[in-house]
Chains A and B, each alone.
Chain A
Amino acid sequence: MNPEFIINEELGKLISNVVKKFPSDKKRSAVIESLLILQHHNNGYVTKNIIKALSDYLSVSEIDIYEVATFYTMINIDPVGRNVISVCNNISCMLRGSDEILSHIEDKLKIKVGESTKDNKFYLKDEIECLAACNGGPMMQVNHKNYENLTLEKVDEILESVNDK
């Protein structure tokens, strides 16, 4: 059994700032942003213990939080690589060559979409749909930062410049 997760003072402060945005009896509204905060603190994914801790903190049932965690694609409930790569391959990007970009990354990192590299440095996220940067296609996000008008060379440069956290 993993040790209990404690929402420390720093995290508690961040979460209470989220809670303040809503009426005092509507703490459940803070679930999504709180999950993102806790996930960021925990190497990019949330655990059952994190959900339990948030459940106690917000007085929202664990299942209600788990349901949210599994519905939204940006919340990971399994361990993933430390740096998240999201390649848009919806139509606008596809018309500008995103399929080539994606297979180049798969070959380069020797993983498929949805997998993390062996050294856990990169996670090539799945379920990536339009990232609303259609006029910059092909594009990707690395740790949520946009890189647009990609070429294979640019992709190499960007990935090589990622400093491990």
Chain B
Amino acid sequence: MINKLCTETFGLKNPDSLKTYMDKQGYQAWKNIIIEQTPKSKIIEKIKESGLRGKGGAGFLTGLKWSFIPLLDGQKYLVCNSDESEPGTCKDRDILRYNPHSIIEGMLIASYAIGASVAYNYLRGEFIDEQWKVFNHALSEAYNAKLIGKNILSSNITIDIHALIGAGAYIVGEETAMLESIEGKRGMPRIKPPFPAIKGLYGKPTIINNTETLASIPKIMLNKPGWYKSLGVNDTEGMKIFSMSGHVNNPGNFEIALGTPFSELLNLAGGMWNGKNIKAVIPGGSSVPVVKGDIMMQVNMDYDSISEAGSMLGSGGVIVMDESTCMVSVLQRISRFYYSESCGQCTPCREGTGWLYKILTHIILGKGTQNDLHQLERIATQIEGHCICALGDAAAMPVRSFLKNFWSEFEYYVDKKESMVS
């Protein structure tokens, strides 16, 4: 494919090395900025104009987010969110190990644009073997080449980048929980407002962007205005990596134009595993509503099209399920996750996620009743919108959508005390 942003070095020899990245015009955008002393506002304007949206899940416009940073002098921070842990999502782990310099260059440009002299890349703890080592090595290469640090390329500009490691907590992917974690505390989300752009890390203005978002920045800066927008197809703009997992022949990460039909993406992943029929798809990580397979086959992979199908593009973690899948078991597994990962701060989430998991387990054990199904709906409704962060909603949305789309299968389970498919 011609238009690779974050995946350009994937598959090359020594993909993570500075040399490989430089051969692909790496750090050229950064050098241009340093040489031209590009005004910060011009960079923010270009990112705004590109239409780049956050690729961690929320899809917020990146340039707009940057523009919230106060123009006043004083310490500011940039944080790269590499705490990838939304089930179904495994794109950032590949950028970290195969194209780490694109993240570093993106972090440098973002730091410069918002006026941050210090930036942190927070990697999830479980990346400590491979990604942590590769990223730290890339950092030291970039330091040695004077692309980061004090007096970058003799310019008087100072930006330090540090890698940080987590220790196992999904909730830290929530941006304010991440700030708490960097401050050395439990990862409990903060009440917003104030938003991090005003009061973030150590109380200073802070921008938090996803790994893939930042890795997309260098190419956008290097190209003419309008270039990134033009990459989308079917009336949409830009690119996205989709992690294809579950019942497909060749699970993997695919960086494609937004707006590409789902059916094409499925083909890229080798089609359905063992030639079975498609039953359902979770298109954006486990927290987004499930979509029936036949509907998904008509959907394009972009924000609007997936939204019209009743779900969300989210993190781009696409989980494909074939006809042999028991939806009750899948929902129970999803509910266990949110129960286990709730930080416990808000009562609706702490208690509600536990009840969702317990009731679903009860049903799986053949002890469920019709009333339990209504109870699940009631609990989901009471969690949704009643918590500090989105984890509660993330637990509720799958429950509501699984019940809505596969009610008869749940009913069958409580009536017959066994799965409809096994």
A residues sitting closer than 8 Å to B (CB atoms) are 21, 23, 26, 28-33, 35-36, 60, 64, 67-68, 71-75, 86, 89-92, 94-96, 127, 129-137, 141, 143-146
Contact = CB atoms under 8 A, between A and B. Distances in A.
Contacts of B7: none
B9 interface: no
Given A35-B167, A74-B126, A137 B245 contact: yes
Interface in B103-135: 120, 124-130
A126 B185 CA distance: 22
Interface stretch (B30-38, B79-87, B219-227): B79-87
Given A26-B202, A71-B187, A92-B319, A130 B85 contact: yes
A89 B182 CA distance: 28
Interface in B46-92: 84-90, 92
Given A132-B126, A144-B126, A91 B87 contact: yes
Nearest to B185: A68
Nearest to A98: B333
A90 B333 CA distance: 6
A72 B166 contact: yes
Contacts of B337: 90, 129-130
A16 to B, nearest CB: 14
B162 interface: yes
B239 interface: no
- The CB with the most chain B CB atoms within 10 A, among A30, A95, A132, is that of A132
B128 A92 contact: no
B251 A23 contact: no
18 contacts: A21-B162, A23-B202, A31-B184, A32-B164, A33-B165, A74-B125, A86-B126, A91-B246, A91-B319, A95-B325, A132-B124, A132-B126, A134-B90, A134-B243, A134-B251, A135-B251, A141-B126, A146-B130
B254 to A, nearest CB: 10
B252 interface: yes
A30 B184 CA distance: 6
B88 A92 contact: yes
Nearest to A39: B167
B286 interface: yes
A102 to B, nearest CB: 12
B93 interface: yes
Nearest to B165: A33
Given A73-B168, A91-B88, A95-B319, A36 B125 contact: yes
Contacts of A68: 184-186
B342 to A, nearest CB: 12
Nearest to A72: B167
A72 B246 CA distance: 28
Contacts of A31: 184
A53 to B, nearest CB: 16
B247 interface: yes
Contacts of A132: 84-85, 89-90, 92-93, 124, 126-127
B319 A74 contact: no
Contacts of B329: 94
Interface residues of B, number: 55
A29 B246 CA distance: 38
A40 B252 CA distance: 32
A91 B184 CA distance: 31
Contact of A135 (B166, B243, B330): B243
A141 to B, nearest CB: 7
Contacts of A35: 167
Contact of A72 (B120, B169, B253): B169
Nearest to B269: A135
A72 B168 contact: yes
Contact of B170 (A29, A30, A129): A129
Contacts of A75: 167-168
Interface string B159-194: 000101111111000000000011111110000000
Contacts of A137: 245, 251
A32 B319 contact: no
Contacts of B128: 36, 144
B334 interface: yes
Contacts of A143: 129
B124 A135 contact: no
A134 B319 contact: yes
Contacts of A92: 87-88, 245-246, 251, 319
Contact of A129 (B251, B253, B341): B341
Contacts of A89: 333
A127 to B, nearest CB: 6
B348 interface: no
Contacts of A133: 90, 93
B330 A94 contact: yes
A152 B330 CA distance: 22
A95 B186 contact: no
Contacts of A141: 126, 129
Nearest to A60: B184
Interface string B177-218: 000011111110000000000000010000000000000000
Interface string B297-327: 0000000000000000000010101000100
B340 interface: yes
Nearest to A141: B126
